[in-house]
């Protein structure tokens, strides 16, 4: 599987990205390409930089060196090799092309389920509110919440809130969807309903990069799995290969063993 940085068919091209918070080096020359329609799952121990990597992709976090391109376009910095940050207006426009779903849902508490989805459609995509409303209703239907359009987040269960979070992200028709441990804050019995939505998006061909600890789901739903350790990509490949118990990668084996011990 190609992971080189000059893969011209890549939708997302992360090339030698490094980042540190103060003196702590969090990403060390991370390279990863994701083709259109691929579902790439990132796994790894706590603190290995998974969240930071996802947040760099839509420039919620800046990075110190390297480049991240979506459809060939540098995400956070102006092109031509400068390290000059894009204007806030440009950044907003770039971010509209990537969707993000958060561990903590992060719904806007003052807006209804439909309102959460409509905000970006009206303010960013310039749709009329009638049009935005019908798109919102369509996506709420897709995530099984057609009857909750006018509920406030506080009136929804965690699983329902997260499904609204997914609908809010995909309604913008992003080129790529970033999902960071989106089921970690949920009670176990609510995890399934959220993963079912993700699976159906994958079947529709949505390009996704997700961080998850749901190994069974990662194995079944991913095109490739990336194992991160200490801020670097330590292993990458098809699920069967990466999750194989007899891997020669010492760190990966330790991670999987500990994982199996605690999760199965």
Partner 1 sequence: MGYTLNFNLIWRHFDKLWGGLLLSLELAVISIAIGIVIGLVLAVWYVSAGRVVRGIIAAYVEFIRNVPLILLVYLVFYGLPTVVDLVYSAQTSFVATLALYSGAYLVEVFRSGLEAVPRGQLDAGKAIGLTPWQRLIHVRLPTMMRITLPALSNTFISLFKDTSVASVISVPELTYGAQWINFNTFRIVEVYLVVTAMYLMTGYILLFALRLVERWYRTAR
Should residue 183 be labelled a site residue for Mg ion when binding is judged by CB under 5 A?
no
Report DSSP letters for 91-117, one per residue. HHHHHTTEEEE-TT----TTS-HHHHH
Q: Which of 38, 57, 20 is nearest to 232 (CA)?
A: 20
Stretch that binds ligand ATP, among 19-27, 79-87, 147-155, 163-171 (CB under 6 A): 19-27
Counting contacts by CB under 6 A, is residue 51 touching ligand ATP?
yes
Q: Would you count residue 21 as binding ligand ATP (CB under 6 A)?
A: yes
Per CB under 5 A, 41 contacts Mg ion: no
Which residue among 41, 51, 58, 222 contacts Mg ion (CB under 5 A)? 51
Closest separation between CB of residue 52 and partner 1, Å? 13
With contacts defined by CB under 6 A, how many residues of the chain interact with ligand ATP?
11
**Complete edge-to-edge strand list for the sheet that includes strand 24-35:** 24-35, 10-21, 65-70, 73-74
Give the bridge partners for 178, in sequence order.
100, 209
Applying CB under 8 A, the residues found at the interface with partner 1 are: 58, 60, 88-89, 92-100, 102, 104, 106-112, 115, 119-120, 123-124, 150, 152, 168-169, 172
Q: Look at residue 225 and give its three-state secondary structure.
A: strand
Among 8, 46, 82, 248, binds ligand ATP (CB under 6 A): 46
Closest CA to 184 of 176, 174, 195: 195
Applying CB under 6 A, the residues found at the interface with ligand ATP are: 21, 24, 26, 44, 46-52
**Residue ranges binding Mg ion (CB under 5 A):** 51
């Amino acid at each position: 599987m190609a992971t080189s940085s000059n893969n011209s068919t890549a939708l997302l091209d992360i090339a030698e990205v490094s980042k540190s918070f103060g003196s702590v080096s969090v990403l060390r020359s991370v390279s990863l390409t994701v083709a259109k329609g691929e579902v790439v799952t990132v796994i790894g121990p706590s603190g290995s930089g998974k969240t930071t990597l996802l947040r760099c992709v839509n420039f919620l976090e800046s990075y110190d060196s390297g480049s991240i391109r979506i459809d060939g376009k540098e995400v956070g910095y102006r092109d031509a090799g400068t390290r000059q940050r894009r204007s806030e207006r440009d950044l907003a426009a770039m971010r509209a092309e990537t969707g993000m779903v958060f561990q903590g849902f992060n719904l806007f508490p003052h807006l209804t389920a439909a309102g959460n989805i409509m905000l970006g459609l009206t303010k960013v995509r310039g749709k009329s509110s009638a049009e935005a409303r019908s798109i919102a209703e369509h996506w709420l239907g897709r995530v099984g919440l057609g009857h909750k359009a006018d509920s406030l987040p506080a009136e929804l269960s965690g699983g329902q809130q997260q499904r609204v979070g997914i609908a809010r992200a995909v309604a913008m028709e992003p080129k790529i969807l970033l999902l960071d441990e989106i089921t970690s804050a949920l009670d176990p019995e609510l995890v399934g309903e959220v993963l079912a939505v993700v699976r159906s998006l994958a079947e529709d061909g949505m390009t996704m990069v997700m961080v998850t600890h749901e190994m069974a789901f990662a194995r079944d739903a991913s095109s490739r799995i990336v194992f991160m350790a200490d801020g670097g990509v330590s292993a990458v490949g098809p699920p069967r290969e990466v999750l194989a118990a007899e891997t020669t990668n010492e760190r990966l084996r330790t991670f999987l063993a500990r994982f199996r011990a605690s999760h199965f």
